[in-house]
Structure 1
C-alpha cells in the first residue's frame, strides 16, 4: 500500500487536495485493484462511479458488482449511464465516459479523478501509436497526470507503474471475482491484437515499453515548456486588419515547437487544426510559400530585428478573407 500512497502523493499532493478522490471503476481487475488500494490509502476519502455505455448486456451486472463492492466498504457509489453516438466506437465511448465522469465528479465535490491505466496499457498504447506513425505527443502515451478532457478537473493515473498481473492478484487475494470484458479479447479491435502480440513474444517487455513511453512523455513536457516560451517571446498581436486581428510570429525554432505555436495562433483566430496539418503549413512557410489552414491565411517573410541586429523569418497570420459571391 505504501507504493500506491507514494505515487498518489506525487500526482495529487496532499496540500492540493480538496474533496474526495473520484475513482472510475468498471468492474474489471485493474479498476477494482484501484478501488482497493485507494480505499486502504484514503479511508473515507474516495467516491466511486461506474459507467454503463449501453453497448453490452453484461454491463449492468458489472456495474452491480462495483456497487456491491462499494456497499461492503461504505464507499459512496454512483451508476452512470451514457449514450455512445455512431462513429469510432472506442473513441466515442471514451469521450462519453469522461464527460459523464466529469459531471458526476463535479456534483460529488471530488478534488480529482483517478483511472486504472497500468503499465501493460501503456505498452499497448505505445506499440499501437508506433504502428500508426504518431508524433512525439502521441508516443508519450498515457500521461500519469493531466486534466479530464474539456474540464479543469485533475486526472491522475497512479497505477502506470504496476503490471496487470499484480493488480489481478491483489483483487483475487481480496476474494473478489472481477468482471471480464469480452471486447478485451476481440481481434476486431487494435488493442486486443496488440495485447495478443505482446503475450506471444516475451522479448517485448511491457515494463520496458512503458518506461520508454514515460521517457517520451518527459521529452514532450520539455517541448510544451519550450513552446510556451516561444509563444510568450516570439508571437505578437500586431493589431487589426480588414479581416480581423493579425498575429506576427518570429519562427526560428525547431519544427516541433513551430507546430505547437502555429496551432495556438490558429486557435486564437478561431480555427482548429491537427499537428499534422500545422506541420505541413509550417513546412510551406519555411520554404517561403503561403499556407492556408483552419480558415487562417499565413504569409511568410524575412525581416531584420533591430533589437538584436539579425534577420529572422516572420510569419503573419490572419483570418482568410471572406469569399465574395457574385
Structure 2
C-alpha cells in the first residue's frame, strides 16, 4: 500500500471487516521517487497505530517502460511476500475510477475483448502463479477518500498521478472535466466485458479439448483443428496451437491468420505453417473445415 487514499481505504475496510490481527499490509518502494521511503515509514507508523502488521518491500525497476517494469516488479514482490506471510488472499485497491480510465485508454488503442475487460476483479500474476483480488472496483475514488477523511487520516499525494507525460493522467484529467461521464457506469461496462471474456476463455478451452487433435505426418509433429466456432474463440485456439508448437503469436496475428484460412488461403505465423482444407465426418454426416498446423520447413539456403 502506497499511503494514498485508495490503499488506506482498503486497509481501513479490511481491518473493519476482518479484525486487525487477520490483516497484514505491505508497501512497495520502487526507488523511483525520493519521497517513497518517507511514505513507507508513514504507512508503517499508521499500521502500528491500527495494530496491523506491516512490511516494506524494496524492489529494483528495470530499464525501458518504467511503469510496466515497476508494475511487474511490484506484483512479483507482493506475491513472494504473500507466500512468506502465508496470507489467505492478496488484495489491491484499484477502484471504479481506475477501471474507467483503463477502459477509455484501451478503447482509444483499439483493444479487443481481453483488453476491454479492463482491470480484472481477480487475476493470476505472471511470474508468481497466485491470485490477486481487487474488491474495490465498484467503489469510486471519492467514496474511498471520504472513508479516509472520516478516519481523520491525511493521505499521501503522489505527484506522478497528475503528471500528464503519462496517458493515464491525461485521461484522468479529461474525465474530471466531463459532467456527463461517470466512472461507475463505465466500470460496470468493463465488468460486463470481463464476463464476456471469461465466457470466451471457457469456450476456447472447450474448443481445444473437442476440436484439436494431434496430426503427425511426414512433416513431423502438428495438429489438426476442426474450425467450427465463432472467430473470437478460434483466435484463442489458434494462439494455443502455435504455442504448443513452440511459437508465439499475438491475437492480431491469429486474427489475420483466421481470416486467410477462412477464405481458403494458407497462413504462416510464429514459425508455423497452416494449410486449410475440408474433411468429411462420416459419423456426423457433415463436412467440416480442417486446418492443419505444422512447423514451417526450413528455408532453402541460397
Q: TM-score range by the shorter chain?
A: over 0.9
- Alignment partner of 1:158 is 2:131: no
- Alignment partner of 1:132 is 2:109: yes
- The superposition leaves residues 42-71 of structure 1 with CA deviations (integer Å, 9 ceiling, x where unpaired) of 112222111111111111111111111111
Deviation at 1:240, TM superposition (A): 6.0
How many residue pairs end up in the alignment?
301
Q: Aligned to 2:291, what secondary structure does the other structure show?
A: strand
Matches within 5 A, 1:109-258: 109-239=86-216, 241-243=218-220, 245-258=221-234
Deviation at 1:124, TM superposition (A): 0.6
Contact 2:97 2:187 in 1 (8 A): yes
In structure 1, the gaps of 5 or more residues are: 1-24
In structure 2, the gaps of 5 or more residues are: none
Query: Which residue of the partner structure matches residue 31 of structure 1?
Result: 7
- The superposition leaves residues 130-173 of structure 1 with CA deviations (integer Å, 9 ceiling, x where unpaired) of 11100011111111112222333121110011010110111122
TM-score, structure 2 normalization: 0.95
Contact 1:111 1:154 in 2 (8 A): no
Query: Which residue of the partner structure matches residue 20 of structure 1?
Result: none
- Alignment partner of 1:89 is 2:79: no
Query: Which residue of the partner structure matches residue 292 of structure 1?
Result: 268
CA distance in 1, matches of 2:217, 2:44: 57
Distance 1:325 1:29, change over 3 A: same
Distance 1:304 1:48, change over 3 A: same
CA distance in 2, matches of 1:232, 1:270: 19
Query: Which residue of the partner structure matches residue 292 of structure 2?
Result: 316
Query: Which residue of the partner structure matches residue 83 of structure 2?
Result: 106
CA distance in 2, matches of 1:318, 1:136: 28
45, 58, 70: which one aligns with 2:47: 70
Q: Using the TM superposition, name which of 111-120 and 285-294 deviates more.
A: 285-294
Q: Aligned to 1:110, what secondary structure does the other structure show?
A: coil
Contact 2:76 2:128 in 1 (8 A): no
CA distance in 2, matches of 1:86, 1:323: 36
CA distance in 2, matches of 1:229, 1:273: 20
Contact 1:111 1:153 in 2 (8 A): no
Q: Aligned to 1:270, what secondary structure does the other structure show?
A: coil
CA distance in 1, matches of 2:146, 2:126: 31
- The superposition leaves residues 270-306 of structure 1 with CA deviations (integer Å, 9 ceiling, x where unpaired) of 2222111111111111122222212222111111111
CA distance in 2, matches of 1:116, 1:233: 39
Aligned structure 1 segments of 4 or more residues deviating by more than 6 angstroms: none
CA distance in 2, matches of 1:178, 1:189: 22
